[in-house]
Structure 1
Protein backbone atom coordinates (compact mmCIF):
# COMPACT_ATOMS: atom_id res chain seq x y z
CA UNK A 1 0.00 0.00 0.00
CA UNK A 2 1.11 3.57 -0.61
CA UNK A 3 2.58 5.63 2.20
CA UNK A 4 0.08 8.25 3.43
CA UNK A 5 1.23 11.84 2.90
CA UNK A 6 -0.07 14.44 5.33
CA UNK A 7 0.10 18.19 5.80
CA UNK A 8 0.79 19.21 9.40
CA UNK A 9 1.04 22.61 11.04
CA UNK A 10 3.78 21.90 13.58
CA UNK A 11 7.51 22.31 12.96
CA UNK A 12 9.28 19.27 11.54
CA UNK A 13 12.53 18.20 13.18
CA UNK A 14 14.24 14.94 14.01
CA UNK A 15 12.60 13.18 16.93
CA UNK A 16 10.09 15.94 17.69
CA UNK A 17 6.62 14.40 17.97
CA UNK A 18 4.03 16.10 15.78
CA UNK A 19 0.30 16.10 16.56
CA UNK A 20 -1.90 15.01 13.70
CA UNK A 21 -4.56 17.46 12.57
CA UNK A 22 -8.24 16.73 13.30
CA UNK A 23 -9.46 13.91 11.09
CA UNK A 24 -6.00 12.56 10.26
CA UNK A 25 -6.06 9.92 13.00
CA UNK A 26 -9.32 8.53 11.63
CA UNK A 27 -7.94 8.66 8.10
CA UNK A 28 -4.80 6.74 9.08
CA UNK A 29 -6.52 4.11 11.19
CA UNK A 30 -9.91 3.61 9.58
CA UNK A 31 -9.38 4.57 5.94
CA UNK A 32 -5.75 3.61 5.32
CA UNK A 33 -5.74 0.79 7.90
CA UNK A 34 -2.43 1.92 9.34
CA UNK A 35 -1.14 1.32 12.86
CA UNK A 36 1.54 2.50 15.24
CA UNK A 37 5.00 2.24 13.70
CA UNK A 38 3.78 2.46 10.10
CA UNK A 39 5.42 4.94 7.73
CA UNK A 40 3.98 8.31 6.75
CA UNK A 41 5.27 11.35 4.86
CA UNK A 42 4.85 14.82 6.36
CA UNK A 43 5.14 18.39 5.07
CA UNK A 44 4.22 21.78 6.51
CA UNK A 45 5.17 24.28 3.80
CA UNK A 46 8.32 25.36 5.70
CA UNK A 47 10.63 22.43 6.38
CA UNK A 48 10.42 20.25 3.29
CA UNK A 49 9.06 16.72 3.28
CA UNK A 50 9.93 14.24 6.04
CA UNK A 51 9.78 10.49 6.40
CA UNK A 52 8.05 9.71 9.65
CA UNK A 53 6.25 6.97 11.54
CA UNK A 54 3.04 6.82 13.48
CA UNK A 55 3.94 7.13 17.16
CA UNK A 56 0.51 6.74 18.74
CA UNK A 57 -2.92 6.17 17.22
CA UNK A 58 -6.06 6.35 19.33
CA UNK A 59 -9.35 6.75 17.44
CA UNK A 60 -9.16 10.23 15.89
CA UNK A 61 -5.94 11.28 17.63
CA UNK A 62 -2.43 10.48 16.47
CA UNK A 63 1.14 11.58 17.01
CA UNK A 64 3.71 11.38 14.25
CA UNK A 65 7.47 11.07 14.68
CA UNK A 66 9.71 12.65 11.99
CA UNK A 67 12.81 10.55 11.27
CA UNK A 68 14.58 12.01 8.21
CA UNK A 69 14.03 14.70 5.61
CA UNK A 70 13.24 13.25 2.19
CA UNK A 71 13.03 16.56 0.27
CA UNK A 72 14.20 20.06 1.20
CA UNK A 73 11.79 22.96 1.04
CA UNK A 74 11.72 24.71 -2.33
CA UNK A 75 9.86 27.86 -3.26
CA UNK A 76 7.39 27.57 -6.12
CA UNK A 77 6.73 30.30 -8.69
CA UNK A 78 4.50 33.12 -7.52
CA UNK A 79 1.61 32.52 -9.91
CA UNK A 80 -1.76 33.66 -8.62
CA UNK A 81 -5.37 33.13 -9.62
CA UNK A 82 -8.07 35.78 -9.23
CA UNK A 83 -11.44 34.22 -9.90
CA UNK A 84 -15.07 35.26 -9.66
CA UNK A 85 -16.57 32.60 -7.34
CA UNK A 86 -18.34 29.75 -9.08
CA UNK A 87 -21.03 27.38 -7.88
CA UNK A 88 -19.77 25.00 -5.21
CA UNK A 89 -18.77 21.95 -7.28
CA UNK A 90 -17.08 24.01 -9.99
CA UNK A 91 -15.28 26.21 -7.45
CA UNK A 92 -13.97 23.23 -5.53
CA UNK A 93 -12.81 21.62 -8.77
CA UNK A 94 -10.90 24.77 -9.75
CA UNK A 95 -9.23 24.97 -6.32
CA UNK A 96 -8.21 21.32 -6.54
CA UNK A 97 -6.77 21.65 -10.05
CA UNK A 98 -5.12 25.01 -9.35
CA UNK A 99 -3.39 23.43 -6.36
CA UNK A 100 -2.16 20.56 -8.54
CA UNK A 101 -0.89 23.11 -11.06
CA UNK A 102 1.17 24.81 -8.36
CA UNK A 103 -0.69 28.09 -7.96
CA UNK A 104 0.67 30.16 -5.07
CA UNK A 105 -2.60 31.83 -4.05
CA UNK A 106 -6.27 31.93 -4.99
CA UNK A 107 -8.17 35.21 -4.67
CA UNK A 108 -11.99 35.06 -4.97
CA UNK A 109 -13.25 38.38 -6.36
CA UNK A 110 -16.93 39.33 -6.20
CA UNK A 111 -18.31 40.84 -9.39
CA UNK A 112 -21.55 42.45 -10.54
CA UNK A 113 -22.58 39.47 -12.69
CA UNK A 114 -21.29 36.75 -10.42
CA UNK A 115 -23.70 33.99 -9.45
CA UNK A 116 -22.14 33.39 -6.03
CA UNK A 117 -21.95 36.08 -3.36
CA UNK A 118 -20.04 34.32 -0.60
CA UNK A 119 -17.19 31.84 -0.30
CA UNK A 120 -16.55 29.10 2.26
CA UNK A 121 -12.84 29.74 2.69
CA UNK A 122 -12.36 26.93 5.22
CA UNK A 123 -13.88 24.40 2.84
CA UNK A 124 -11.70 25.61 -0.03
CA UNK A 125 -8.62 25.46 2.21
CA UNK A 126 -9.46 21.83 3.04
CA UNK A 127 -9.82 21.02 -0.66
CA UNK A 128 -6.43 22.63 -1.32
CA UNK A 129 -4.79 20.70 1.51
CA UNK A 130 -6.07 17.35 0.25
CA UNK A 131 -4.93 18.17 -3.29
CA UNK A 132 -1.47 19.19 -2.06
CA UNK A 133 -1.14 15.93 -0.13
CA UNK A 134 -2.00 13.93 -3.24
CA UNK A 135 0.08 15.84 -5.81
CA UNK A 136 3.27 15.89 -3.69
CA UNK A 137 3.73 19.66 -3.58
CA UNK A 138 5.59 20.97 -0.55
CA UNK A 139 3.26 23.81 0.41
CA UNK A 140 -0.36 24.92 0.28
CA UNK A 141 -1.80 27.70 -1.83
CA UNK A 142 -3.14 30.60 0.19
CA UNK A 143 -6.90 31.05 -0.05
CA UNK A 144 -7.39 34.81 0.22
CA UNK A 145 -10.55 36.33 1.70
CA UNK A 146 -13.22 37.07 -0.90
CA UNK A 147 -13.26 40.76 -1.84
CA UNK A 148 -15.28 42.95 -4.13
CA UNK A 149 -13.34 43.39 -7.38
CA UNK A 150 -12.74 47.10 -6.78
CA UNK A 151 -11.52 46.51 -3.22
CA UNK A 152 -9.28 43.70 -4.44
CA UNK A 153 -7.73 46.01 -7.04
CA UNK A 154 -7.25 48.79 -4.49
CA UNK A 155 -5.41 46.37 -2.18
CA UNK A 156 -3.36 44.75 -4.96
CA UNK A 157 0.44 44.91 -4.71
CA UNK A 158 1.11 45.78 -8.36
CA UNK A 159 1.86 42.26 -9.57
CA UNK A 160 0.96 42.05 -13.29
CA UNK A 161 -2.58 40.77 -13.83
CA UNK A 162 -3.47 39.00 -17.07
CA UNK A 163 -7.18 39.45 -17.68
CA UNK A 164 -8.79 36.61 -19.59
CA UNK A 165 -10.98 38.42 -22.12
CA UNK A 166 -13.70 36.32 -23.71
CA UNK A 167 -14.47 38.88 -26.40
CA UNK A 168 -12.53 41.44 -28.38
CA UNK A 169 -9.07 41.56 -29.85
CA UNK A 170 -6.18 40.96 -27.45
CA UNK A 171 -2.78 39.27 -27.67
CA UNK A 172 -2.83 35.62 -26.70
CA UNK A 173 -1.84 34.66 -23.18
CA UNK A 174 1.23 32.91 -24.57
CA UNK A 175 2.30 36.10 -26.36
CA UNK A 176 1.85 38.21 -23.23
CA UNK A 177 3.80 35.78 -21.07
CA UNK A 178 6.71 35.14 -23.45
CA UNK A 179 9.95 36.25 -21.84
CA UNK A 180 8.32 37.20 -18.54
CA UNK A 181 8.86 35.73 -15.08
CA UNK A 182 6.69 35.54 -11.96
CA UNK A 183 5.11 37.06 -10.05
CA UNK A 184 2.15 36.92 -12.42
CA UNK A 185 -1.59 36.68 -11.85
CA UNK A 186 -4.47 35.43 -13.99
CA UNK A 187 -7.92 37.02 -13.61
CA UNK A 188 -10.99 35.09 -14.74
CA UNK A 189 -14.41 36.70 -14.54
CA UNK A 190 -17.89 35.24 -14.08
CA UNK A 191 -19.74 33.20 -16.69
CA UNK A 192 -21.71 36.32 -17.68
CA UNK A 193 -18.57 38.37 -18.15
CA UNK A 194 -17.51 41.56 -16.41
CA UNK A 195 -19.89 44.51 -16.29
CA UNK A 196 -18.85 47.50 -18.46
CA UNK A 197 -17.91 49.58 -15.41
CA UNK A 198 -15.70 46.73 -14.15
CA UNK A 199 -13.91 46.53 -17.48
CA UNK A 200 -13.39 50.29 -17.37
CA UNK A 201 -11.94 50.04 -13.86
CA UNK A 202 -9.63 47.24 -14.95
CA UNK A 203 -8.50 49.22 -18.02
CA UNK A 204 -7.42 52.08 -15.74
CA UNK A 205 -5.07 49.82 -13.80
CA UNK A 206 -1.54 49.89 -15.19
CA UNK A 207 -0.86 46.39 -13.89
CA UNK A 208 -3.75 44.82 -15.88
CA UNK A 209 -3.35 43.52 -19.45
CA UNK A 210 -6.05 41.78 -21.46
CA UNK A 211 -5.23 38.40 -23.00
CA UNK A 212 -7.05 36.04 -25.33
CA UNK A 213 -7.59 32.45 -24.18
CA UNK A 214 -8.00 30.83 -27.57
CA UNK A 215 -10.57 30.90 -30.37
CA UNK A 216 -13.42 29.33 -28.40
CA UNK A 217 -15.60 30.54 -25.53
CA UNK A 218 -14.55 28.71 -22.37
CA UNK A 219 -16.44 28.07 -19.19
CA UNK A 220 -14.90 29.95 -16.29
CA UNK A 221 -13.46 26.82 -14.68
CA UNK A 222 -11.94 25.70 -17.98
CA UNK A 223 -10.44 29.14 -18.59
CA UNK A 224 -8.86 29.19 -15.12
CA UNK A 225 -7.19 25.80 -15.44
CA UNK A 226 -6.13 26.28 -19.07
CA UNK A 227 -4.68 29.72 -18.30
CA UNK A 228 -2.72 28.45 -15.30
CA UNK A 229 -1.30 25.62 -17.42
CA UNK A 230 -0.01 28.15 -19.96
CA UNK A 231 1.53 30.29 -17.21
CA UNK A 232 3.27 27.32 -15.64
CA UNK A 233 4.51 26.04 -18.98
CA UNK A 234 5.95 29.37 -20.09
CA UNK A 235 6.94 31.15 -16.87
CA UNK A 236 6.61 28.68 -14.02
CA UNK A 237 8.23 25.51 -12.79
CA UNK A 238 7.18 23.32 -15.72
CA UNK A 239 10.35 24.59 -17.41
CA UNK A 240 12.51 23.06 -14.65
CA UNK A 241 13.99 19.71 -15.57
Structure 2
Protein backbone atom coordinates (compact mmCIF):
# COMPACT_ATOMS: atom_id res chain seq x y z
CA UNK A 1 0.00 0.00 0.00
CA UNK A 2 3.01 2.32 0.33
CA UNK A 3 3.00 3.10 -3.41
CA UNK A 4 -0.70 3.88 -3.60
CA UNK A 5 -1.90 7.39 -4.42
CA UNK A 6 -3.86 8.79 -1.49
CA UNK A 7 -3.63 12.42 -2.59
CA UNK A 8 -5.81 12.25 -5.71
CA UNK A 9 -9.59 12.21 -5.42
CA UNK A 10 -11.01 8.68 -5.77
CA UNK A 11 -14.44 7.99 -7.17
CA UNK A 12 -16.47 4.79 -7.31
CA UNK A 13 -18.38 4.35 -10.59
CA UNK A 14 -20.73 1.63 -11.83
CA UNK A 15 -19.51 1.80 -15.42
CA UNK A 16 -16.86 -0.48 -16.92
CA UNK A 17 -13.36 0.97 -16.98
CA UNK A 18 -11.20 0.40 -20.05
CA UNK A 19 -8.09 1.89 -21.60
CA UNK A 20 -9.04 5.05 -23.48
CA UNK A 21 -12.65 4.94 -22.31
CA UNK A 22 -14.92 7.89 -21.65
CA UNK A 23 -17.52 8.30 -18.90
CA UNK A 24 -20.54 10.57 -18.71
CA UNK A 25 -21.33 10.85 -15.01
CA UNK A 26 -24.74 12.05 -13.89
CA UNK A 27 -26.81 12.09 -10.69
CA UNK A 28 -24.91 11.45 -7.44
CA UNK A 29 -21.39 10.99 -8.92
CA UNK A 30 -21.69 14.17 -10.96
CA UNK A 31 -23.09 16.09 -8.00
CA UNK A 32 -20.23 14.86 -5.81
CA UNK A 33 -17.57 15.90 -8.29
CA UNK A 34 -19.15 19.23 -9.13
CA UNK A 35 -20.45 20.43 -5.76
CA UNK A 36 -18.32 18.61 -3.18
CA UNK A 37 -14.98 18.10 -4.88
CA UNK A 38 -15.48 21.20 -7.10
CA UNK A 39 -13.48 19.66 -9.92
CA UNK A 40 -12.47 21.63 -12.98
CA UNK A 41 -11.60 20.54 -16.52
CA UNK A 42 -8.12 19.03 -16.65
CA UNK A 43 -8.18 17.82 -13.04
CA UNK A 44 -6.88 14.28 -12.43
CA UNK A 45 -8.73 11.72 -10.37
CA UNK A 46 -8.76 7.98 -9.69
CA UNK A 47 -11.66 5.73 -10.70
CA UNK A 48 -12.66 2.24 -9.57
CA UNK A 49 -15.73 0.02 -9.82
CA UNK A 50 -14.82 -3.05 -7.76
CA UNK A 51 -14.22 -5.12 -10.91
CA UNK A 52 -11.63 -3.56 -13.21
CA UNK A 53 -8.97 -2.27 -10.84
CA UNK A 54 -8.09 1.39 -10.32
CA UNK A 55 -7.71 3.80 -13.23
CA UNK A 56 -6.32 7.28 -13.68
CA UNK A 57 -8.87 9.63 -15.19
CA UNK A 58 -9.09 13.27 -16.14
CA UNK A 59 -12.06 15.63 -16.05
CA UNK A 60 -12.86 16.85 -19.57
CA UNK A 61 -15.99 18.90 -18.99
CA UNK A 62 -18.13 20.02 -16.05
CA UNK A 63 -21.72 20.77 -17.00
CA UNK A 64 -24.86 21.56 -15.06
CA UNK A 65 -26.09 17.95 -14.78
CA UNK A 66 -23.14 15.85 -15.87
CA UNK A 67 -19.38 15.54 -15.77
CA UNK A 68 -17.35 14.11 -18.64
CA UNK A 69 -14.30 12.07 -17.62
CA UNK A 70 -11.62 10.46 -19.81
CA UNK A 71 -10.17 7.14 -18.63
CA UNK A 72 -6.43 7.15 -19.26
CA UNK A 73 -4.59 4.14 -17.80
CA UNK A 74 -4.84 1.45 -15.13
CA UNK A 75 -2.87 2.28 -11.98
CA UNK A 76 -3.65 -0.86 -9.93
CA UNK A 77 -4.88 -4.33 -10.80
CA UNK A 78 -8.13 -5.48 -9.23
CA UNK A 79 -7.61 -7.14 -5.87
CA UNK A 80 -9.59 -10.33 -5.18
CA UNK A 81 -12.39 -10.50 -2.60
CA UNK A 82 -11.02 -10.83 0.91
CA UNK A 83 -12.97 -13.96 1.81
CA UNK A 84 -14.09 -12.48 5.14
CA UNK A 85 -17.82 -12.45 5.92
CA UNK A 86 -18.82 -10.04 8.66
CA UNK A 87 -22.07 -10.89 10.45
CA UNK A 88 -23.49 -8.38 12.89
CA UNK A 89 -26.65 -7.41 14.70
CA UNK A 90 -27.73 -4.02 13.28
CA UNK A 91 -27.27 -0.94 15.41
CA UNK A 92 -29.06 2.40 15.29
CA UNK A 93 -28.22 5.30 12.99
CA UNK A 94 -24.75 6.81 13.39
CA UNK A 95 -23.27 3.81 15.18
CA UNK A 96 -24.30 1.53 12.32
CA UNK A 97 -22.77 3.99 9.83
CA UNK A 98 -19.52 3.92 11.78
CA UNK A 99 -19.45 0.14 12.05
CA UNK A 100 -20.13 -0.39 8.35
CA UNK A 101 -17.41 2.06 7.34
CA UNK A 102 -14.87 0.46 9.67
CA UNK A 103 -15.76 -3.04 8.50
CA UNK A 104 -15.05 -1.97 4.91
CA UNK A 105 -11.75 -0.41 5.97
CA UNK A 106 -10.74 -3.48 8.01
CA UNK A 107 -11.09 -5.94 5.14
CA UNK A 108 -14.60 -7.37 5.32
CA UNK A 109 -15.61 -8.85 1.96
CA UNK A 110 -19.32 -9.27 2.68
CA UNK A 111 -21.49 -7.49 5.24
CA UNK A 112 -24.30 -9.69 6.51
CA UNK A 113 -26.76 -8.12 8.98
CA UNK A 114 -28.39 -10.78 11.16
CA UNK A 115 -31.43 -10.28 13.36
CA UNK A 116 -30.95 -11.79 16.81
CA UNK A 117 -33.44 -12.08 19.63
CA UNK A 118 -31.90 -9.03 21.31
CA UNK A 119 -31.33 -6.91 18.23
CA UNK A 120 -32.57 -3.39 18.95
CA UNK A 121 -32.64 -2.04 15.38
CA UNK A 122 -34.65 -4.41 13.20
CA UNK A 123 -35.06 -2.09 10.18
CA UNK A 124 -31.97 -1.82 8.01
CA UNK A 125 -31.41 0.84 5.34
CA UNK A 126 -29.40 -1.19 2.82
CA UNK A 127 -28.88 1.74 0.45
CA UNK A 128 -27.37 3.78 3.27
CA UNK A 129 -25.13 0.85 4.21
CA UNK A 130 -23.94 0.52 0.62
CA UNK A 131 -23.27 4.26 0.44
CA UNK A 132 -21.16 4.02 3.59
CA UNK A 133 -19.22 1.08 2.16
CA UNK A 134 -18.46 3.01 -1.03
CA UNK A 135 -17.43 6.13 0.90
CA UNK A 136 -15.01 4.09 3.02
CA UNK A 137 -13.60 2.39 -0.09
CA UNK A 138 -13.09 5.76 -1.80
CA UNK A 139 -11.25 7.21 1.18
CA UNK A 140 -9.11 4.19 2.09
CA UNK A 141 -7.88 2.87 -1.24
CA UNK A 142 -10.07 -0.25 -1.16
CA UNK A 143 -10.62 -1.89 -4.55
CA UNK A 144 -12.58 -5.02 -3.56
CA UNK A 145 -15.74 -3.20 -2.48
CA UNK A 146 -17.60 -5.23 0.17
CA UNK A 147 -20.94 -6.72 -0.79
CA UNK A 148 -23.92 -5.80 1.39
CA UNK A 149 -26.42 -8.62 1.85
CA UNK A 150 -30.05 -8.48 2.88
CA UNK A 151 -30.69 -9.00 6.61
CA UNK A 152 -31.81 -12.41 7.80
CA UNK A 153 -32.61 -13.99 11.17
CA UNK A 154 -29.55 -15.42 12.89
CA UNK A 155 -31.19 -18.79 13.44
CA UNK A 156 -31.86 -19.11 9.72
CA UNK A 157 -28.26 -18.26 8.86
CA UNK A 158 -26.97 -20.83 11.36
CA UNK A 159 -29.40 -23.52 10.19
CA UNK A 160 -27.85 -23.51 6.72
CA UNK A 161 -24.30 -22.67 7.69
CA UNK A 162 -21.75 -24.30 5.33
CA UNK A 163 -19.49 -26.72 7.21
CA UNK A 164 -16.46 -25.60 5.20
CA UNK A 165 -16.73 -21.98 6.39
CA UNK A 166 -15.13 -21.37 9.81
CA UNK A 167 -17.11 -19.06 12.06
CA UNK A 168 -15.32 -16.82 14.54
CA UNK A 169 -17.70 -16.16 17.40
CA UNK A 170 -16.74 -13.24 19.63
CA UNK A 171 -17.61 -14.44 23.12
CA UNK A 172 -16.61 -12.78 26.39
CA UNK A 173 -16.78 -16.23 28.04
CA UNK A 174 -14.28 -17.81 25.64
CA UNK A 175 -11.75 -20.03 27.37
CA UNK A 176 -8.94 -19.20 24.91
CA UNK A 177 -6.93 -16.37 26.47
CA UNK A 178 -4.92 -15.67 23.30
CA UNK A 179 -7.24 -14.85 20.37
CA UNK A 180 -4.36 -14.87 17.87
CA UNK A 181 -3.52 -18.46 18.81
CA UNK A 182 -7.12 -19.41 18.06
CA UNK A 183 -7.23 -17.50 14.76
CA UNK A 184 -3.92 -18.49 13.15
CA UNK A 185 -4.95 -22.06 12.20
CA UNK A 186 -7.99 -20.82 10.23
CA UNK A 187 -6.89 -17.36 9.12
CA UNK A 188 -5.47 -18.19 5.69
CA UNK A 189 -8.74 -19.21 4.03
CA UNK A 190 -12.29 -17.87 3.90
CA UNK A 191 -13.91 -17.30 7.26
CA UNK A 192 -16.76 -15.44 8.94
CA UNK A 193 -16.79 -13.17 11.99
CA UNK A 194 -19.90 -12.73 14.13
CA UNK A 195 -20.52 -9.83 16.52
CA UNK A 196 -23.62 -9.98 18.68
CA UNK A 197 -26.08 -7.28 19.73
CA UNK A 198 -25.98 -4.99 22.72
CA UNK A 199 -26.76 -7.24 25.67
CA UNK A 200 -25.21 -10.29 24.07
CA UNK A 201 -26.73 -13.42 22.59
CA UNK A 202 -29.80 -15.18 23.90
CA UNK A 203 -28.93 -18.51 25.62
CA UNK A 204 -30.63 -20.47 22.83
CA UNK A 205 -28.58 -18.60 20.24
CA UNK A 206 -25.37 -19.30 22.13
CA UNK A 207 -26.24 -22.99 22.28
CA UNK A 208 -26.90 -23.07 18.52
CA UNK A 209 -23.58 -21.33 17.85
CA UNK A 210 -21.60 -23.75 19.99
CA UNK A 211 -23.15 -26.71 18.18
CA UNK A 212 -21.79 -25.58 14.82
CA UNK A 213 -18.84 -27.54 13.46
CA UNK A 214 -15.78 -25.38 12.98
CA UNK A 215 -16.83 -22.59 15.32
CA UNK A 216 -13.97 -20.70 16.99
CA UNK A 217 -14.65 -18.68 20.12
CA UNK A 218 -12.40 -15.74 20.86
CA UNK A 219 -12.33 -13.16 23.62
CA UNK A 220 -11.77 -9.49 22.85
CA UNK A 221 -10.28 -8.81 26.25
CA UNK A 222 -11.37 -8.27 29.85
CA UNK A 223 -13.64 -5.29 29.13
CA UNK A 224 -17.16 -5.35 27.75
CA UNK A 225 -17.03 -3.53 24.40
CA UNK A 226 -19.80 -1.77 22.55
CA UNK A 227 -20.80 -3.63 19.41
CA UNK A 228 -19.25 -1.07 17.05
CA UNK A 229 -15.97 -1.12 19.01
CA UNK A 230 -16.02 -4.93 19.09
CA UNK A 231 -16.32 -4.97 15.30
CA UNK A 232 -13.10 -2.99 14.88
CA UNK A 233 -11.27 -5.08 17.48
CA UNK A 234 -12.36 -8.42 16.01
CA UNK A 235 -11.63 -7.52 12.39
CA UNK A 236 -8.25 -6.09 13.38
CA UNK A 237 -7.36 -9.40 15.03
CA UNK A 238 -8.52 -11.35 11.97
CA UNK A 239 -6.55 -9.11 9.64
CA UNK A 240 -3.40 -9.47 11.75
CA UNK A 241 -3.81 -13.25 11.83
CA UNK A 242 -4.35 -13.39 8.06
CA UNK A 243 -1.28 -11.24 7.42
CA UNK A 244 0.84 -13.67 9.42
CA UNK A 245 -0.77 -16.90 8.22
CA UNK A 246 0.86 -19.17 5.60
CA UNK A 247 -0.96 -19.30 2.25
CA UNK A 248 -3.55 -22.09 1.87
CA UNK A 249 -2.43 -25.26 0.08
Please give the TM-score of this superposition, normalised by the length of structure 1: 0.92
Aligned to 2:204: 197
Aligned to 1:86: 91
Q: For 1:178, what is the secondary structure of its paired residue?
A: helix
In structure 2, C-alpha distance between the alignment counterparts of 1:56 and 1:102, rounded to whole Å: 35
Bigger CA drift: 118-127 or 197-206? 197-206
Unaligned runs of 5+ in 1: none
Spell out the pairing of 1:18-167 with structure 2 (5 A cutoff). 18-20=23-25, 22-158=27-163, 159-167=165-173
- Decide whether the 8 Å contact of 1:79 with 1:236 is kept in 2: no
In structure 1, C-alpha distance between the alignment counterparts of 2:29 and 2:17, rounded to whole Å: 17
Which of residues 163, 172, 175 in structure 2 aligns to 1:169? 175
CA RMSD, 1 decimal:
2.2
Unaligned runs of 5+ in 2: 1-6
Aligned to 2:184: 178
Q: For 2:42, what is the secondary structure of its paired residue?
A: coil
Which of residues 198, 222, 225 in structure 2 aligns to 1:218? 225
Residue 223 of structure 1: CA displacement?
Answer: 0.9
Q: For 1:18, what is the secondary structure of its paired residue?
A: strand
Aligned to 2:11: 6
In structure 2, C-alpha distance between the alignment counterparts of 1:71 and 1:237, rounded to whole Å: 24
Residue 59 of structure 1: CA displacement?
Answer: 2.5
Bigger CA drift: 204-213 or 4-13? 204-213
Residue 179 of structure 1: CA displacement?
Answer: 3.4
Aligned to 2:4: none
Q: For 1:215, what is the secondary structure of its paired residue?
A: coil
Please give the TM-score of this superposition, normalised by the length of structure 2: 0.89
- Decide whether the 8 Å contact of 1:43 with 1:139 is kept in 2: no
Aligned to 2:236: 229
Residue 171 of structure 1: CA displacement?
Answer: 4.9
In structure 1, C-alpha distance between the alignment counterparts of 2:211 and 2:10, rounded to whole Å: 45
Residue 208 of structure 1: CA displacement?
Answer: 2.1
Residue 184 of structure 1: CA displacement?
Answer: 1.4
Q: Deviations over 1:124-152 (max 9, x none)?
A: 00001011000011121111110000112
Which of residues 212, 215, 218 in structure 2 aligns to 1:208? 215
- Decide whether the 8 Å contact of 2:184 with 2:245 is kept in 1: no
- Count residues with an aligned counterpart: 240
